Amino acid sequence: MSRQTIHLVDASLYVFRAWHSVPAEFFDVDGKPVNAVYGYTRFLLDLLERAKPTHCAVAFDESLTSSFRNAIYPEYKANRELPPEELKLQFAYCQRVSAALGLRVLSDLSLEADDLIGSVVHALRPQAFRSVIVSADKDFGQLVGEHDEIWDFSKNQTWNAAGVKERLGVHPHQVADYLALTGDAVDNIPGVAGIGAKTAATLLSHFGSLDAIYARIEEIPFLRFRGAAAAYVKLKAGAAQAQLSRSLTGIACDGPVPPDAASFARGKPDLADVDGLLEQLRFGPLTRSRIRALA
């Protein structure tokens, strides 16, 4: 079966990267900093020029404190600093830039970018679409099907389902369980204290899933791997944490995204909108000429 490709961009990751890497020497007509917008726009143009996607969506995180995961676990991502006001303005600009370039913009107050991307992957897979997820986040490994891949654009590295197994030691369908065992310091997900990546991968290789591990937990001390007895004690003590963590690590794939592929067809840049926006951002002629070349 011939498959079309949709590129799904983890936009917030690239906005934050630009915020930290582009010098604060770009300002809009009101004197507000737009260095992150400049870096993000440059990234997006690089992506469009290189990949030439026919279908594309960019997903933004707007649920930094209102995700459904915060209702489950108030400490979720509590270790992260909220973006300052000047960066919030830049996120709004980045959404406008994305839309002006003809891309579908996705955001939600209760779902994260991961969930929105996962929902598109699952909506379009039955319509013979393969997904290229533009991100460096290991969490996306759980979305990778037979024909999908993750593209770390900055490093120009891609990996498919076999690559997920090579990197994490588990298959894509086991990634959420793997993260529930190991925890995730970036998102402040506790996991099971003392269970590291190697032990988690070994357990999932043997049992297949987190549920099976706990259903057959009494077998663990008799397994032939170093530290099996200690792992048994840790898993017994951390059963509640494991289940809590599993409710946080799974990507929701039933979000309110358009169900039809046509909604994600890449449009031509709206040059009138682009010109007005670039005037407001005070971006130079090189950016303008690159955008016009895409029209």
* Tens-digit pLDDT profile for residues 30-81: 999 999 999 999 999 999 999 999 999 999 998 778 899 999 999 999 988 8
Architecture of domain 4-169+252-294: 3-Layer(aba) Sandwich (3.40)
Please check the confidence at residue 85 and state whether its pLDDT lies above 70: yes
* Tens-digit pLDDT profile for residues 103-125: 999 999 999 999 999 999 999 99
Residues of each domain in the chain carrying CATH 1.10.150.20: 172-249
Please check the confidence at residue 218 and state whether its pLDDT lies above 80: yes
* Tens-digit pLDDT profile for residues 276-293: 999 999 999 999 999 999
d(CA 144, CA 129): 12
Helix (H) or strand (E) holding 56: strand 55-59
Query: What pLDDT shows up at residue 38?
Result: 97
d(CA 59, CA 222): 46
Three-state SS for 225? coil
Q: Return the C-alpha torsion angle 293, 92, 150, 125, nearest 10.
A: -90
Query: What pLDDT shows up at residue 227?
Result: 95
For the whole prediction, is pTM greater than 0.85? yes
d(CA 280, CA 295): 20
Instruction: Quote the mean pLDDT of the chain.
Output: 96
Query: CB-based burial of residue 223 (10 Å sphere; 0-12 exposed, 13-18 middle, 19+ buried)?
Result: middle
HSE-CB for 20 with a 13 A CA cutoff: 6
Copy the structure tokens of residue 174.
């086991």
- C-beta of residue 58 within 8 angstroms of C-beta of residue 100: no
- For 14, 39, 91, 287, 288, the CA distances from 30, given in Å and listed in that order, are 24, 19, 16, 20, 20
Cβ-Cβ contacts under 8 Å for 31 (sequence gap 6 or more): none
* Tens-digit pLDDT profile for residues 141-184: 999 999 999 999 999 999 999 999 999 999 999 999 999 999 99
- C-beta of residue 91 within 8 angstroms of C-beta of residue 83: yes
Side chain identity at residue 195, one-letter code: I
pLDDT band of 238, cuts 50, 70, 90: very high
Residues of each domain in the chain carrying CATH 3.40.50.1010: 4-169+252-294
Place of tokens 């999908």: 148
Average pLDDT over residues 202-218: 98
Three-state SS for 274? helix
Please check the confidence at residue 1 and state whether its pLDDT lies above 70: no
Place of tokens 């009494």: 218
DSSP state of 33: B
CATH topology assigned to domain 172-249: DNA polymerase; domain 1 (1.10.150)
